[in-house]
Structure 1
């Protein structure tokens, strides 16, 4: 039994196809199939039921796959131990970021990180929160940046910063005359939201739920971008809420429509999340340190009230 064989088993279990598993493992299909068969012969059991399409994992195979994940992770940890002992920060690292954070945060820290840690090959992927959690569990992401808390058993959360919500209220809206906002001022029927599936949308719904009753049917007008929500607001279709960092790039005319909340300002917690196995933790810590240093000066708000995304049941 070898680590390579276990890696091939995990690939087949994930993709349920030998050809695709071989492609993702960067080997030929006959090589991968032969190694999996060799392991099955050695153990004298079937890990996969090849009679089904797609290929399925047998009952005993499920137990082997589960143990194989632990073994492969522990084997990878050996390299981590050596790298940490040598003080080496480098190699490939895959980082996921949710869509409502990627456009503003990435330009703020990426150039600084690359300059400070040139030996890290950083791969960035934009995914929603459910995708991040799934890919961290499957080992396809080394870490991710998301709105928290998530309270997932196998994930560690390290808060990076707390980002206040800011109201975008055009002159045609009744709240425009206010200098500052309170959550109680929001009319649930007039808040334009991102489309369903965005955790920022869930946070806004939670904010409104904390002050007034609501029905999901009220949210009929939804969009996939903050820019579109701002434009729709300007057309008289309502108001919207923006993450603070998204307001920094607005032109001066649009900034006149911003309304900040009275203290404590409702805000979202943005964290670096990663598997509890803490593989490649030295790179994870390097990313956390760089982001914290560049964002600290951009967000001057200190007194905030964290609004969590809605817990999915």
Structure 2
């Protein structure tokens, strides 16, 4: 029994297809199939039921797959121990970031990080929160940046910063003449929201004192804050923006920004990773880099956290 054989078993268990598992493992299909067969022969059991399409995992195979995950993780941990002992910060590190954070945060820290840690091959993927959680569990991501809390048992959350919500309110809007906003001022009927599936949308809904749908004369499905701002400019409502998204607005658009009374509602943004803590030494330096860069950009001290899990 070898670690490589167990890795092949995990690949087949994930993809339910020997050809696809081989592609993802960067080996030929005959090589992968032979190694899985050798392991089955050694154990004198069938891990996979090949008579079904797609291939399924047998009952005893499910137990072996779970144990294989533990063994492969522990084997990877040995390399982590050696790297940390040598003070080596390098290798491939895959990071996921949710869409409402990626465009503003990535330009702030990426150049600094790759300059400081040139031996790290940082692979960055934009994914929604549900996909991040699934890929962290499957081991396809080393860490992710998302709005928290998520309250997922196998995930550890380390807050990076707290980002206030800011209103974008054209002067013709019913709140256009107010100097500051209060959560009680908000009515979801005239707030332009991101499409379903965005955690920022859920955070906004938790702020509102009514929860009915957007105006019936149109239905919007957009993942872009820029689109929401443009629609607000056309008199179709107001919207809420994460604070970092307001920094790129031009002077004319900034006139429509309205801040909340203290403490402003905010979202918690964290770096999250699997509790097995693989590549934790890289996660730590990434966290330090991001926190240092963002700390100066967000001047707010006291905030009221509003997350998708918040209750009114």
Q: TM bucket by the smaller chain?
A: over 0.9
Per-residue CA distance 1:59-113 (angstroms, 9 max, x = gap): 1111110110000000000000000111110000000000000000000000000
Partner of 1:157: 157
Per-residue CA distance 1:23-77 (angstroms, 9 max, x = gap): 1001000000000000001111110010111111011111110110000000000
Q: List aligned pairs for 1:1-313, cutoff 5 A.
A: 1-208=1-208, 212-216=209-213, 220-310=219-309
Asked whether the equivalents of residues 264 and 305 of structure 1 are also in contact (C-alpha less than 8 Å), the reply is yes
Query: Structure 1 length normalisation: TM-score?
Result: 0.97
Residues in 2 aligned to 1:157 and 1:224: alpha-carbon distance in whole angstroms: 25
SS of aligned partner of 1:130: helix
SS of aligned partner of 2:276: coil
Asked whether the equivalents of residues 165 and 241 of structure 2 are also in contact (C-alpha less than 8 Å), the reply is yes
Asked whether the equivalents of residues 46 and 58 of structure 1 are also in contact (C-alpha less than 8 Å), the reply is yes
SS of aligned partner of 1:277: coil
After alignment, is 158-167 or 179-188 more displaced?
A: 179-188
Cα displacement (A) at 1:224: 1.4
- RMSD of aligned residue pairs (Cα, Å): 1.1
Per-residue CA distance 1:158-187 (angstroms, 9 max, x = gap): 000000000000122011100110001112
Cα displacement (A) at 1:266: 0.3
After alignment, is 220-229 or 238-247 more displaced?
A: 220-229
Residues in 2 aligned to 1:24 and 1:94: alpha-carbon distance in whole angstroms: 15
Residues in 1 aligned to 2:115 and 2:179: alpha-carbon distance in whole angstroms: 42
Cα displacement (A) at 1:223: 1.7
Cα displacement (A) at 1:217: 6.6
Cα displacement (A) at 1:215: 2.8
Residues in 1 aligned to 2:294 and 2:210: alpha-carbon distance in whole angstroms: 35
Cα displacement (A) at 1:310: 3.8
Residues in 2 aligned to 1:98 and 1:49: alpha-carbon distance in whole angstroms: 37
Asked whether the equivalents of residues 188 and 218 of structure 1 are also in contact (C-alpha less than 8 Å), the reply is no
Residues in 2 aligned to 1:12 and 1:84: alpha-carbon distance in whole angstroms: 31
Per-residue CA distance 1:224-267 (angstroms, 9 max, x = gap): 10000000000010000000000000000000000000001000
Asked whether the equivalents of residues 191 and 214 of structure 2 are also in contact (C-alpha less than 8 Å), the reply is no
Per-residue CA distance 1:277-311 (angstroms, 9 max, x = gap): 00000000010000000000000001100001148
Query: Structure 2 length normalisation: TM-score?
Result: 0.97
SS of aligned partner of 2:304: strand
Asked whether the equivalents of residues 186 and 207 of structure 2 are also in contact (C-alpha less than 8 Å), the reply is no
Residues in 1 aligned to 2:235 and 2:202: alpha-carbon distance in whole angstroms: 23
- Aligned pair count reads 308
Cα displacement (A) at 1:218: 5.9
Asked whether the equivalents of residues 192 and 214 of structure 2 are also in contact (C-alpha less than 8 Å), the reply is no
- 1:213–1:170 Cα change, 3 Å: closer
Per-residue CA distance 1:95-153 (angstroms, 9 max, x = gap): 00000000000000000000000000000000000000000000000000000000100
Cα displacement (A) at 1:216: 4.5
